[in-house]
Amino acid sequence: MKIKGAVVIGMYAGMLLAGRQVAAADGPMVSGWIDLNMERISSPKGSTERISSGGLNSSRLVFSDSEDLGDGWKAFFTHEMQFDASTGAGPTPRQSFVGMSGPYGTLSLGRQNTPSYWVAGYADPSWSADYSMVSNMEFFYAPYRESNSINYNTPRIAGVQGRFMYSAGAEDGTKNGRYISTGFDYRNGPLFAGFVSDLTNTKSIVPGSNAIPTSRDNYFALTYKIGSIEPTFIYHTYNGYYAYPPYVAFQSKGWDMQIGARYNLDARNSFFGSYVRRKDANNTSLSDANGAVLGYGYHFSKRTDLYLNYARIIAKNNTSIQYPVTFSSNPAPTSGVQLGIRHGF
Can you give the pLDDT at residue 27?
Answer: 78
276 touches 235 (CB < 8 A):
no
Mean pLDDT on 136-154:
88
Residue type, 213: P
- Using 50, 70 and 90 to split pLDDT, how confident is the model at 142? low
Can you give the pLDDT at residue 24?
Answer: 43
CA distance 154 to 102: 10
Lowest mean pLDDT among 1-15, 40-54, 95-109, 152-166: 1-15
- Using 50, 70 and 90 to split pLDDT, how confident is the model at 264? very high
The answer to whether residue 286 scores a pLDDT higher than 80 is: no
Can you give the pLDDT at residue 3?
Answer: 39
The answer to whether residue 20 scores a pLDDT higher than 90 is: no
219 touches 235 (CB < 8 A):
yes
Model pLDDT for residues 215-244, shown as the tens digit of each residue: 999 999 999 999 999 999 999 999 999 887
Max mean pLDDT among 19-33, 64-78, 320-334 falls in 64-78
The answer to whether residue 18 scores a pLDDT higher than 50 is: no
The answer to whether residue 329 scores a pLDDT higher than 70 is: no
DSSP states of 245-296:
TTTEEEEEEEEEEEEEEEEE-SSSEEEEEEEEEEEESS-HHHH-EEEEEEEE
Average pLDDT score, the chain:
89
The answer to whether residue 265 scores a pLDDT higher than 50 is: yes
Can you give the pLDDT at residue 74?
Answer: 97
Contacts of 321 (CB under 8 A, 6+ apart): 248, 250, 286, 332
Model pLDDT for residues 188-210, shown as the tens digit of each residue: 999 999 999 999 999 999 999 99
pTM listed for this prediction: 0.89
Can you give the pLDDT at residue 21?
Answer: 35
Mean pLDDT on 284-307:
92
Length of the chain: 345
Can you give the pLDDT at residue 245?
Answer: 75
The answer to whether residue 258 scores a pLDDT higher than 50 is: yes
CA distance 202 to 269: 43
Model pLDDT for residues 149-165, shown as the tens digit of each residue: 999 999 999 999 999 99
Can you give the pLDDT at residue 327?
Answer: 59
With 0-12 CB in 10 A as exposed, 13-18 as middle and 19+ as buried, what is 336?
buried
Can you give the pLDDT at residue 323?
Answer: 63
- Using 50, 70 and 90 to split pLDDT, how confident is the model at 11? very low
- Using 50, 70 and 90 to split pLDDT, how confident is the model at 5? very low
| Domain covering 38-58+109-344: architecture | Beta Barrel (2.40)
Model pLDDT for residues 49-99, shown as the tens digit of each residue: 999 999 999 999 999 999 999 999 999 999 999 999 999 998 999 999 999
Domain boundaries, the chain: 38-58+109-344
